[in-house]
Amino acid sequence: MKPRITVVGSVNMDLVFRTPRMPAIGETLHGHEFRQIPGGKGANQAVAAARQGAAVSFIAAVGDDGFGEFSRNCLTTEGIDLSFLSTCKGLATGVAGIMVEDCGNNSIVLAAGANAALSIAHIDAASAAISSAQYLICQLETPIPTVSRAIEIAHTHGVKVILNPAPAFALTDALLQQVDYLIVNETEASQLSEITVLDQNSAALASQVLLKRGVGVVLLTMGEHGTLITQTTGTQFIPAIKVEVVDTTAAGDTFVGAFAVGLANGLSLLEASIEAQYTAALTVTKLGAQTSIPQRQQVLEFMAQRKSTAAE
């Protein structure tokens, strides 16, 4: 049987500009190209999990506009269960304005639109989709009370919770104590722990603070450097997979989705993290969010190729 993953989160239309560098305040800068690509952290993570072989249910909201219809159609082609994807009348679908530098770095501005209308009532209506899953994935591009309710339902029914607290907001210890796996980058870890993460040592200190706040396991992703895994039994550092970076958009989301599927398939924490690293590494070699997320077979071939090269 396929792993059962439920995702609660956002749907955005990404308006992507390729640019040689970020413009200064008041500057008009000629870009290389423009693309319109389906995204949103929740949708990206749902697509990543589906492409890695999971049966995915997605709880989200879109507006009654062209972007919403387009996003729904894209998610349908991925085989994702959209029984609880609501269309909010009179609201726009979420939009993200993304500037991607030639070096691969990006800056993002969000307009939440219908994402902000995803309510506790929506979650309660979809409680069966949460309680029957192996893993629940959440982020913070939808209202925190809504996310908290989803996590509460999952925790009550023994469903493992993966939280990617992005963008970072203040979270209560009561909420974090219901989180089995917290996946954060340096910025999010710094804000949640109040320890500035600059290197592996400060990352370890920040992770320990988050453990003390009640999280089961902390995975601190550090981009091109790798991922630090911290649990009560100790820490492990996984170096990043080196690739030529085109665009880092959705790399973190791909890691989250692939990690959840790895765990649901019975991999160990370390094995699931390594597979997630490989999957995210493939993502940054292409432009865009969902357009860059690899299929399972591509990941397996990439892992085999890298292992073969290392053995030579």
- pLDDT tens for residues 276-296? 999 999 999 988 778 899 999
Q: What is the pLDDT of residue 179?
A: 98
Q: Indicate if the pLDDT at residue 113 is higher than 90.
A: yes
- Rounded Cα distance between 279 and 211, Å, is 26
Question: Right CATH number for 4-22+33-307 from 3.40.50.970, 3.40.1190.20, 1.10.540.10, 3.90.550.10?
Answer: 3.40.1190.20
Q: What is the pLDDT of residue 310?
A: 67
Amino acid, single-letter form, for residue 260? A
- The binding site for substrate consists of 12-14, 40-44, 141, 253
**Mean pLDDT confidence for 223-229:** 92
Q: Residues 168, 193: contact at Cβ < 8 Å?
A: no
Amino acid, single-letter form, for residue 140? L
Domain range annotation of the chain: 4-22+33-307
**166 — pLDDT class (breaks 50, 70, 90):** very high
Q: What is the pLDDT of residue 288?
A: 77
Amino acid, single-letter form, for residue 287? L
Residue entry with tokens 């999952």? 154
**Mean pLDDT confidence for 233-237:** 95
Average pLDDT, the chain: 94
- The binding site consists of 12-14, 40-44, 141, 185, 221-226, 247, 249, 252-253, 283, 286, 288, 292
**Mean pLDDT confidence for 224-231:** 94
Q: What is the pLDDT of residue 312?
A: 60
Residue entry with tokens 């073969």? 308
Q: Residues 95, 67: contact at Cβ < 8 Å?
A: yes
- Rounded Cα distance between 135 and 48, Å, is 14
- Rounded Cα distance between 198 and 190, Å, is 9
Ranked by mean pLDDT, the top range of 98-107, 171-180, 300-309 is 171-180
Catalytic residue ranges: 253
> Coil, strand or helix: which one is 71?
helix
Residue entry with tokens 């629940």? 136
- The binding site for ATP consists of 185, 221-226, 252-253
**98 — pLDDT class (breaks 50, 70, 90):** confident
